[in-house]
């Protein structure tokens, strides 16, 4: 391309149809191109720089040996995470690539975050187990003996699963006991918090209260994969079981399944049924076939509901998500909030520096020098005498007028014109006939003294109050004006 016609001001050239784009226009084109091309991706990498913003959004970086990409998960998705993300975990992130025009960067908007295989999950499990074991939560001396014949048994499990039915059947078959069920979710988002709250709830029951306190607590769940049982590896569940004041039996999964809840409990049962057998002293066979038929019957009843739920979820996935519509603005808000915080800190630091500089320049000698200079300027100023006398005369006239008004508004001034003031025995001035009629004796104040009277219909005064001599007001001093010139 020839630059012979280049100049200071851009001009349209013949045959040139390439219109200049604004930065926002090119950013929007890039964003649309990236999202159309990479609308669904699955990335495997190591988490780095994990942090949660005050808005609830989750920010991180995914990296491998040769590259790094920023990642963001909005509040709704972050609340559905079944594990706590940490730096160094290898994960698989599912989402879409997009751009953030505010920083000219591309990133992945994560819809779901999973550990990269059971190896990464087991590594996280071992890391948590070693940390809690170092605190002594799994120590053998903490284990307590189970009561021989518990009168009340508390069960923490799902109220709709086969686990609670198996436990109740086994307990009823072996030894009748009073069973308290604390219903919880045993898998998915919020399951760990519900299980921990249930264990602490049983431990907090007072003996002899309206709700009987269990003698032993069974924490139970059916078998499944390590992901299904992960809620019972959460630290909040382990601490709740270790701190429980009631002996706890852990019956999570099958015999080959082991969770951190098993290490913290006083006894570990290979199955929920075995937990029921441990709780009571009598052994008997459980009708497994009947329990299996009951579970199949429940599944057959719930199958139409599940199919309808699946169809509804499939239609819901086709609708645009509200967080996607506000994704860019939410991230921009987080960016501006961070910039505002830094700007306020910088401005405060600069203000302190300016204040320190001004304070350093202030000293007694400098202030004395300034005051002396101001005094010399005042001495050099010559004000005409008329400018001083005119405000003084105006003030003298106003003061005299106010004195005359004050003398006319004195409350005893009307007495000189023939009026009188009616007072009760306490000296309070009365203004109505009703008030005067209710007094046994009255005092009438005239210009030259006081006179005791009795209202009509009252008994005469035995000793009228002595008339006080007329009070003379001291003469008002004439307004005096100070001489400004000595």
Query: How do residues 26-65 score in pLDDT, each as one tens digit?
Result: 878 888 887 788 878 888 888 888 888 888 888 898 887 7
Report how far apart, in Å, the C-alpha atoms of 308 and of each of 22, 150, 298, 302, 311 are: 49, 44, 16, 10, 5
Which pLDDT tens digit goes with each residue over 184-219?
A: 998 877 888 999 999 999 999 998 889 999 999 999
Architecture of domain 23-115: Beta Barrel (2.40)
Q: Is the per-residue pLDDT at 246 higher than 90?
A: yes
Burial 159-174 (b: 16+ CB within 10 A, else e): eebbbbbbbbbbbebb
Rounded distance between C-alpha atoms, residue 198 and residue 190, angstroms:
13
Q: How far apart are CA 181 and CA 79, in angstroms?
A: 27
For residue 117, what pLDDT band results from cuts at 50, 70 and 90?
low
Domain ranges of the chain: 23-115, 145-286, 407-471
Q: Which residues pair with 467 in a beta bridge?
A: none
- Helices 162-174 and 272-279 cross at an angle (nearest 10°) of 30
90-100 and 41-52 as β-strands: parallel, antiparallel, unpaired? antiparallel
**What value does the mean pLDDT of the chain take?**
81
Q: Classify residue 276 by burial, with Cβ atoms within 10 Å: 0-12, 13-18, 19+.
A: buried
**pLDDT computed for residue 384 by the predictor:** 67
Which letter does DSSP use for residue 416 in this model? G
Specify the pLDDT at position 111: 87
Q: State residue 410's pLDDT score.
A: 74
Q: Does domain 145-286 have CATH number 3.50.50.60?
A: no
Mean pLDDT value of segment 73-92: 79
Q: Are 298 and 191 within 8 A, CB to CB? A: no
The pLDDT score that the predictor gives to residue 478 is 46
Q: What is the pLDDT of residue 322?
A: 75
User: pLDDT by residue (tens digit) across 257-306?
Assistant: 888 999 999 999 999 999 999 998 865 554 566 788 888 888 888 888 88
């Amino acid at each position: 391309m020839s630059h012979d016609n280049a100049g200071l001001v851009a001009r349209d050239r013949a045959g040139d149809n390439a219109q200049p784009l604004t930065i926002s226009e090119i950013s929007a084109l890039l964003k649309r191109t990236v999202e159309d091309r990479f609308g669904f991706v699955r990335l495997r990498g190591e988490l780095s720089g994990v942090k949660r913003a005050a808005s609830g959004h989750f920010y991180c970086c995914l990296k491998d040996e040769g590259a790094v990409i920023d990642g963001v998960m909005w509040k709704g998705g972050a609340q559905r995470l079944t594990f706590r993300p940490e730096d160094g975990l290898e994960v698989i992130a599912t989402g879409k690539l997009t751009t953030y025009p505010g920083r000219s960067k591309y990133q992945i908007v994560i819809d779901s975050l999973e550990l990269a295989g059971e190896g990464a999950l087991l590594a996280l499990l071992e890391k948590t187990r070693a940390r809690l074991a170092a605190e002594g939560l799994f120590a053998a001396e903490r284990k307590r003996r189970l009561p021989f014949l518990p009168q009340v048994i508390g069960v923490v499990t799902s109220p709709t699963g086969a686990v609670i039915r198996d436990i109740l059947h086994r307990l009823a078959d072996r030894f009748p006991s009073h069973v308290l069920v604390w219903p919880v979710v045993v898998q998915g988002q919020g399951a760990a918090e519900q299980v921990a709250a249930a264990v602490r709830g049983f431990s907090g029951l007072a003996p002899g209260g309206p709700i009987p306190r269990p003698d032993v607590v069974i924490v139970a769940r059916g078998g499944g994969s390590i992901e299904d049982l992960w809620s019972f590896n959460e630290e909040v569940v382990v601490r709740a079981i270790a701190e429980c004041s009631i002996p706890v039996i852990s019956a999570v999964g099958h015999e080959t399944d082991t969770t951190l809840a098993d290490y913290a409990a006083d006894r570990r049962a290979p199955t929920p049924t075995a937990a029921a057998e441990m709780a009571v002293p009598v052994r008997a066979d459980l009708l497994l076939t009947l329990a299996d038929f009951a579970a199949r019957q429940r599944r057959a009843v719930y199958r139409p509901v599940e199919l309808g739920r699946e169809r509804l979820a499939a239609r819901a996935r086709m609708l645009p998500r509200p967080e996607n519509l506000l994704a860019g603005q939410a991230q921009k808000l987080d960016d501006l909030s961070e910039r505002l915080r830094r700007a306020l800190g910088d401005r405060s630091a600069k203000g302190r520096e300016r204040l320190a500089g001004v304070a350093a320049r202030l000293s007694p000698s400098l202030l004395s020098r300034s005051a002396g200079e101001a005094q010399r300027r005042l001495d050099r100023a010559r004000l005409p005498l008329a400018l001083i006398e005119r405000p003084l005369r105006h003030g003298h006239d106003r003061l005299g007028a106010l004195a005359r008004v004050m003398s006319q508004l004195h409350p005893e001034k009307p007495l000189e014109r023939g009026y009188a003031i009616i007072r009760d025995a306490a000296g309070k001035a009365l203004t109505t006939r009703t008030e005067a009629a209710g007094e046994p004796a009255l005092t009438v104040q005239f210009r030259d003294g006081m006179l005791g009277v009795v209202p009509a219909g009252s008994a005469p005064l035995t000793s009228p109050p002595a008339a006080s001599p007329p009070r003379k007001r001291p003469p008002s001093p004439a307004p005096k004006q100070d001489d400004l010139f000595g």
